[in-house]
Chain A
Amino acid sequence: MDVDPRLYEQIAVNDNDIHNIIMSYLVHNCFKETVESFIACTGMKQPSDYLEDMEKRKRIYQFALEGNALKAIELTEQLATNLLEKNKDLHFDLLSLHFVELVCSRKCTEALEFAQMKLTPFGKEQKYVEKLEDFMALLAYEEPEKSPMFHLLSLEYRQHVAEILNRAILAHGNHPTYTAMERLIQQTTVVRQCLNQEHAKDGPPPFSLKDFIKS
């Protein structure tokens, strides 16, 4: 059960603001055709600089999601030079994606060599050691899907890395890294939590998007 609408109905919301929110979401996620339709329907101004990069970003995201990390790295270097140099964590995550690919295709010797050349140099810094150990452990199992580290092979993990990469590219181009929509929902949740804690039973319940949509 969400909060009673009568409490906030009277606040006016500008249509333009709503359009911007939607646009920021679409751009962030590279829905190029939808962006073009939306602009045509609403008569908004077209944000020129976004569109070219959007296509490239989309391709990079896709490659990362598939696990084709080397291609993703190549294209990222083209689009945003020095990004990976400055973002070692991300670089490591991408390289390890490639490593996981090799392990999954049972190419052990290649995986071992790749790890020795590209991944172990990161091990000099203490913060990478545990992550490195996690990945190396995959080598020990003939069926990595059944190992304790199986989550490193999952789609969720690749998605996670792909999103970090996406945000990094946006940041590199001085664009917002989070969509307005995300931020709004995050803020609402926190505000409601605070109110809830302060007023206990009397306060509004914690924010649930599901309830909100239903109400």
Chain B
Amino acid sequence: MGGVEDDEPASKRMKLSSEELRRLSNGSTIKEPVAGSSRDLMARPLQSEGGEEVVGSKGVIKKVEFVRIIAKALYSLGYIKSGAHLEEESGIPLHSSVVNVFMRQILEGNWDESVVTLRNIGLTDERTVKSASFLILEQKFFELLDEEKAMDALNTLRTEIAPLGVNDSRVRELSSYIVSPSYCSLTRSPKQDTVRARSRSKLLEELQKLLPATVMVPEGRLEHLVEQALVLQRDACMFHNSLDKEMSLYSDHQCGRDQIPSQALQILQAHTDEVWFLQFSHNGKYLASSSNDQSAIIWEVYETGVSLKHKLSGHQKPLSSVSWSPDDRQLLTCGAEEVVRLWDVSSGECLHVYEKTGLGMVSCGWSPDGKWIFSGLNDKSICMWELDGKELECWKGQRTLKISDLEITGDGKQIISICRETAILLLDREAKVERFIEEDQTITSFSLSRDSRFLLINLLNQEIHLWNIEGDPKLVSKYRGHKRTRFIIRSCFGGLEQAFIASGSEDSLVYIWHRGTGELIETLPGHSGAVNCVSWNPANPHMLASASDDRTIRIWGLNNLSTKRKEPCSNGIHYCNGVY
């Protein structure tokens, strides 16, 4: 039939094993030639009786275990005949005959016999035997109670369960069950008091967990091992940036660089001066950009590309930044040392202007519940308003600088801004506690991670530092390579689970690093002026936007995107000047 015969000479058995090896490994390649593998197998010491035969090229998989977990998996999948056939053909039974008898007795409710059989299985640990007996007798107890045979149940408790001497607290609970039919201990869920005995197959599962794996193969073991391998592969995948890609068992998972946006798909030319800032909305459906031309633009993101939705004019000064409301329905724009304006995204209307006489605003931000807005002012204070313009609070003193970003953490408690040239202030506005991040170099900009746990800081000396801001701030990583000498350059988090860092640079390139290792992965050419700001689409890890002094915005996506675009272009670049 093809099974290994015991009376065959040793060498022949070797060759058959490598044949089985091929059959069992299901298509994964074995690099060594056949002769080589036989030699390897021969070199390993063979146990004489019941031979410790192994499968796989590394010789760590015991054949008996391998076949048994496959058989178990076959039975779990419902392929009973195949499972039985495997047991027969391999000569390796899933369970010993004693165990088979035991399992049948449990399912048929022959409690007393099953306890006896349990002893025959030959377990070495007395405690395991007692615990298993306890579980079985407990089932017997509850089934008697369900049949309203209280005295029998009491008897079982007294003469069979209690004498085991394990789990006194459970014995206590069981006593209470007999006395009071509606008894509900705190540990047992209230739903279970009508039918007290659980199903026998559940009992069998519990017993499987209790008994050693050699006696009863655990449920789902093969599936667990495969999942473990997949998870390890995914964690080791450095460029892992794909939502959709299903992990396949046929080959090891490895995202290539092709999962990082690296090709300019669109060039947006609607601003008439340097574009200083841009940011995707939280839901990734919109992009807002602001420029030296005193306007801001709201772009809408479609399957096919990005197109202009509204041009927001009104400011009398260049716009330093924009900020999306948490529900993405409104947008704040900040004029450099001027006013902050609130816009409605769908209509493009200006809803409110926030200002303070005699002072100019330098930054803006939202509270996470969208009820309040914050703004840094050029007298170094930070103020908080209700949407209708009513001022609620003002933190005076050295809180911010004339040029500074402003962020609020996701719990609404911390306000973050650059308070001194080389320091960032983390102000807990409820607890009134201040924490500082001190750097050696001048800080030019920063951005907050989505989970509010990390801060990415751009420094004058062309380094980007990543800090963990939970508890005492700690420096985690540094990223280098990009260029910055004169202007404010911004960086951001991005990609699946924010595993990447992107930054603009004065050499017109967009830089992308792997966050964990700090390795520079990509530099994207295309702009013809300093790249001031980048933003990675939070809803689409394959889309990145960059804003440049060359007055354009570039939208970057994956290379070879034929599946995603309807109209193939000659060089893949789509120009957009506001009329799509």
Binding site for B on A (CB under 8 A): 108-109, 112, 115-116, 119-120, 123, 132-134, 136-142, 147-148
User: Could you write out 7 A-B pairs with CB less than 8 Å apart?
Assistant: A112-B150, A112-B154, A112-B179, A116-B179, A120-B180, A138-B175, A139-B175
Stretch at the interface among B166-174, B195-203, B217-225, B247-255: B166-174
Q: Is B161 an interface residue when CB atoms closer than 8 A count as contact?
A: yes
Q: Is B162 an interface residue when CB atoms closer than 8 A count as contact?
A: yes
> Which of A108, A112, A136 makes the CB contact (< 8 A) with B172?
A136
**Would you call B159 and A120 a contact (CB within 8 A)?**
no
Known A139-B157, A140-B161, A141-B162; judge A120-B171 contact (CB<8 A): no
Give Cα A133–Cα B168 distance, bound, in whole angstroms. Answer: 12
**Would you call B159 and A139 a contact (CB within 8 A)?**
no
**Would you call B157 and A140 a contact (CB within 8 A)?**
yes
Give Cα A194–Cα B173 distance, bound, in whole angstroms. Answer: 45
The 3 closest A-B pairs by CB, nearest first: A137-B172, A136-B175, A140-B175
Residues of B contacting A133 in the complex (Cβ-Cβ under 8 angstroms)? 172-173, 175-176
Known A133-B172, A140-B174; judge A108-B179 contact (CB<8 A): no
Interface of B is mostly: helix
Q: Is B158 an interface residue when CB atoms closer than 8 A count as contact?
A: yes
Give Cα A140–Cα B168 distance, bound, in whole angstroms. Answer: 10
**Would you call B180 and A116 a contact (CB within 8 A)?**
yes
> Which of A109, A137, A142, A147 makes the CB contact (< 8 A) with B159?
A142
Residues of B contacting A137 in the complex (Cβ-Cβ under 8 angstroms)? 171-172, 175-176
Give Cα A116–Cα B179 distance, bound, in whole angstroms. Answer: 6
Q: How far is the CB of B339 from chain A (nearest CB, A)?
A: 62
Other contacts beyond A108-B151, A112-B150: 17, CB < 8 A: A109-B151, A112-B151, A115-B179, A116-B179, A119-B179, A123-B183, A132-B176, A133-B172, A136-B176, A136-B178, A137-B172, A140-B157, A140-B158, A140-B174, A141-B158, A141-B162, A147-B162
Q: How far is the CB of B575 from chain A (nearest CB, A)?
A: 75
Q: How far is the CB of B533 from chain A (nearest CB, A)?
A: 62
Q: How far is the CB of A143 from chain B (nearest CB, A)?
A: 9
Q: How far is the CB of B343 from chain A (nearest CB, A)?
A: 58
Interface of A is mostly: helix
**Would you call A139 and B179 a contact (CB within 8 A)?**
yes
Give Cα A148–Cα B176 distance, bound, in whole angstroms. Answer: 15
Q: With a 10 A CB-CB cut-off, give which of B150, B172, B173, B175 has the most chain A CB atoms.
A: B175
Give Cα A111–Cα B507 distance, bound, in whole angstroms. Answer: 91
Residue tally, chain B, CB below 8 Å to A: 20
Give Cα A139–Cα B180 distance, bound, in whole angstroms. Answer: 13
Give Cα A139–Cα B177 distance, bound, in whole angstroms. Answer: 11
Residues of B contacting A140 in the complex (Cβ-Cβ under 8 angstroms)? 157-158, 161-162, 171-172, 174-175
| Chain B positions 120 through 156: 1 when the CB is less than 8 Å from some CB of chain A, otherwise 0 | 0000000000000000000000000000001100100
Residues of B contacting A134 in the complex (Cβ-Cβ under 8 angstroms)? 172
Residues of B contacting A132 in the complex (Cβ-Cβ under 8 angstroms)? 176
Of all chain A residues, which has the CB nearest B180?
Answer: A120
Of all chain B residues, which has the CB nearest A148?
Answer: B168
Residues of A contacting B175 in the complex (Cβ-Cβ under 8 angstroms)? 133, 136-140
Q: How far is the CB of B181 from chain A (nearest CB, A)?
A: 9
Give Cα A123–Cα B163 distance, bound, in whole angstroms. Answer: 27
Give Cα A58–Cα B109 distance, bound, in whole angstroms. Answer: 56
Q: How far is the CB of B423 from chain A (nearest CB, A)?
A: 51
**Would you call B179 and A120 a contact (CB within 8 A)?**
yes
**Would you call B176 and A112 a contact (CB within 8 A)?**
no
Q: With a 10 A CB-CB cut-off, give which of B171, B173, B180, B183 has the most chain A CB atoms.
A: B180
Residues of A contacting B161 in the complex (Cβ-Cβ under 8 angstroms)? 140
Q: With a 10 A CB-CB cut-off, give which of A108, A132, A133, A148 has the most chain B CB atoms.
A: A133
**Would you call B154 and A108 a contact (CB within 8 A)?**
yes
**Would you call A139 and B178 a contact (CB within 8 A)?**
yes
**Would you call B180 and A142 a contact (CB within 8 A)?**
no
> Which of B158, B168, B183 makes the CB contact (< 8 A) with A139?
B158
Give Cα A1–Cα B168 distance, bound, in whole angstroms. Answer: 46
Residues of B contacting A109 in the complex (Cβ-Cβ under 8 angstroms)? 151
Q: With a 10 A CB-CB cut-off, give which of A119, A141, A148 has the most chain B CB atoms.
A: A141
Give Cα A120–Cα B183 distance, bound, in whole angstroms. Answer: 9
Residues of A contacting B173 in the complex (Cβ-Cβ under 8 angstroms)? 133
Give Cα A112–Cα B139 distance, bound, in whole angstroms. Answer: 21
Residues of B contacting A115 in the complex (Cβ-Cβ under 8 angstroms)? 179
Give Cα A112–Cα B168 distance, bound, in whole angstroms. Answer: 20
Residues of B contacting A141 in the complex (Cβ-Cβ under 8 angstroms)? 158, 162
Of all chain B residues, which has the CB nearest A116?
Answer: B179
Residues of B contacting A123 in the complex (Cβ-Cβ under 8 angstroms)? 180, 183
Give Cα A141–Cα B171 distance, bound, in whole angstroms. Answer: 9
Q: How far is the CB of B416 from chain A (nearest CB, A)?
A: 49
**Would you call A112 and B178 a contact (CB within 8 A)?**
yes
Q: How far is the CB of B425 from chain A (nearest CB, A)?
A: 49
Give Cα A112–Cα B173 distance, bound, in whole angstroms. Answer: 15
Give Cα A142–Cα B171 distance, bound, in whole angstroms. Answer: 13
| Chain B positions 98 through 120: 1 when the CB is less than 8 Å from some CB of chain A, otherwise 0 | 00000000000000000000000
Give Cα A147–Cα B173 distance, bound, in whole angstroms. Answer: 14
Q: How far is the CB of B159 from chain A (nearest CB, A)?
A: 7
> Which chain B residues numbered 399 to 454 have a C-beta less than 8 Å away from chain A?
none
Residues of A contacting B176 in the complex (Cβ-Cβ under 8 angstroms)? 132-133, 136-137
Give Cα A132–Cα B180 distance, bound, in whole angstroms. Answer: 10
Of all chain B residues, which has the CB nearest A133?
Answer: B176
Residues of A contacting B157 in the complex (Cβ-Cβ under 8 angstroms)? 139-140
Residues of B contacting A108 in the complex (Cβ-Cβ under 8 angstroms)? 151, 154, 158
Give Cα A108–Cα B152 distance, bound, in whole angstroms. Answer: 12
Q: How far is the CB of B10 from chain A (nearest CB, A)?
A: 59
Give Cα A140–Cα B175 distance, bound, in whole angstroms. Answer: 6
Give Cα A123–Cα B157 distance, bound, in whole angstroms. Answer: 22
**Would you call B171 and A136 a contact (CB within 8 A)?**
no
Give Cα A139–Cα B178 distance, bound, in whole angstroms. Answer: 10
Q: With a 10 A CB-CB cut-off, give which of A120, A137, A138 has the most chain B CB atoms.
A: A137
